[in-house]
Amino acid sequence: MDATSAPHRIPPEMPQYGETHHIFEMMQNLLEQLLIHQPKDPMLFMIEHLQRNNDHVPKIMILGPPASGKTTIAMWLAKHLKTNLLTVESLLAMGHSELAQEAQQHYARDRSVPSLLLVRLVQERLSDEDCISRGWILDGIPETREQAIMVQTLGISPWHVIALSAPDTVLIERNLGKRIDPQTGEIYHTTFDWPPEADTQNRLVVPEGISEPATVRRLLRHHRNIARVLPSYPGILKVISADQPCVDVFYQALTYVQTNRRSNAPFTPRVLLCGPVGSGKSLQAGLLAQKYGLINVCCGQLLKEAMADKTRQGEAIQPFFKKGLPVPDSLILKVLNLRLSQLDCMQRGWVLHGFPRDLDQAHLLDTTGHKPNRVFFLNVPLDSVMERLTLRRTDPVTGERYHLIYKPPPTMEVQARLRQNPKDTEEQVRFEMDVFYRNSAELEEFYKQAITLNGDQDPYTVFEYIESGITHPLPQKGP
């Protein structure tokens, strides 16, 4: 590539390869780790880091006041994500560690562990192979601003931080009923979560420090500290109300930790909108193009423009249009490939609709190198499409478009001369719907990361949903 020439025409395969294999995120993570650890041999360090392949394992912190349920949520998440749960108790129980033995002595004497010693224990535990390969969840750590700074200084960086919150009156009531199974470590409650087994009930014990005065003191200490801890995690923090059923809290937390964190890697939207006739693809494409500057590529309009400009492809297409025959896929692909290869599409991204309509066309589009990185399927029931399309009319005198329900003609005279497009007849709409839904299952299987949404709602609600799927990373698949 000539460095003195501009603008450079970058092949579409280059940025797509980078996005597919997470090249930009990989380089960003490597740079972060190099600056944190400052190894003597950077090349060997990078090779070992890449071989670990652990840049996407869970790295979660769960914070919250006493009795907010953070330990229960942390345990459920650890089981669901098959990752490691780290608590103060589990860190103290590391019998093979000299640091753990020293911490146990402090805890036996003062009922607490010095911040520096606790953070060093965390660092030691996170260096174990299971934490490297399967990730970790820190329960209630860091507790203070001092600990948060120490954790960051050592390069311990979570992907997600969850802070639980609830009114103090609710937390005090919860804490008074808390019981612990000394054999399993499971937490129960006399009111909300009492075990059905008699053996389990009999061995439950009252944990230390759950009296009302003790709980109030712990809450005051938490409120003083948490206000200085949370600002340490901008952009990755989610606050969840704990004053709701524990299962609801868990699913909100699970949804959050399964979302990908946003990186600074470059991203050019290549959006594909699929849906039956009348699903609103054109409207959504126009809204995306208007707000984000994407190139609106309507396949049908593109073919008409090629014929109007009398290009070589346009002249080849024209006989098919005149006879009312479908245009061969090979001709459509030539026109489409030419448009998507232009510099504005490469730089600003595009939103495509009207193609592909079936699996064969999807494979053909894939061969051109123009692969969408966001695919949306707009599902609309037949009755709604019928109402949208079969009641549309056009005034042949003025060219004004009307809808017999949503935009009726102003006078009886105008209504008398209205005409219906042959494409909007009930028979034709049913046929188009049938064709789409016959092919949609294979298309959805081809585009495995596609997002399906209900298109039978307010257009701006649909747009907000599509918009969120473009501006935010796609969620991770469950284990």
Measured in Å, how far apart are the chain's first and last C-alpha atoms? 43
Residue 259 DSSP label: B
* Mean pLDDT, range 283-301, rounded to an integer: 93
Contact (CB, 8 A) for 193 and 246: yes
If we measure between CA atoms, which residue out of 206, 205, 212, 207 comes closest to residue 173? 212
Contact (CB, 8 A) for 16 and 267: no
Residue 234 DSSP label: T
> pLDDT band at 268, cuts 50/70/90?
confident
Instruction: Return the residue matching tokens 């280059």.
Output: 14
Q: Which CATH superfamily is domain 59-258 in?
A: P-loop containing nucleotide triphosphate hydrolases (3.40.50.300)
> pLDDT band at 323, cuts 50/70/90?
confident
Contact (CB, 8 A) for 409 and 418: yes
* CB proximity list for 111: less than 8 A, separation 6 or greater: none
The winner for highest mean pLDDT among 38-47, 98-107, 372-381 is: 372-381
For the ranges 79-88, 179-188, 447-456, the lowest mean pLDDT is seen at 179-188
Residue extents of the structural domains in the chain: 59-258, 270-471
H-helix or E-strand spanning residue 85: strand 84-86
Encoded tokens for 114: 């010095």
User: Is the CATH number 3.40.50.300 carried by domain 270-471?
Assistant: yes
Encoded tokens for 418: 């209205």
3-state helix, strand, coil in the chain (%, to 5): 50, 15, 35
Contact (CB, 8 A) for 376 and 271: yes
Please report the pLDDT score of residue 264 as a whole number. 64
Please report the pLDDT score of residue 39 as a whole number. 87
* Kind of pairing between the strands at 392-394 and 374-379: unpaired
Q: What whole-number distance in Å separates Cα of residue 476 and Cα of residue 145? A: 31
Residue 85 confidence (pLDDT) above 90: yes
DSSP string, 87-150: -HHHHHT-TT-HHHHHHHHHHHHHSS--HHHHHHHHHHHHTSHHHHHH-EEEES---SHHHHHH
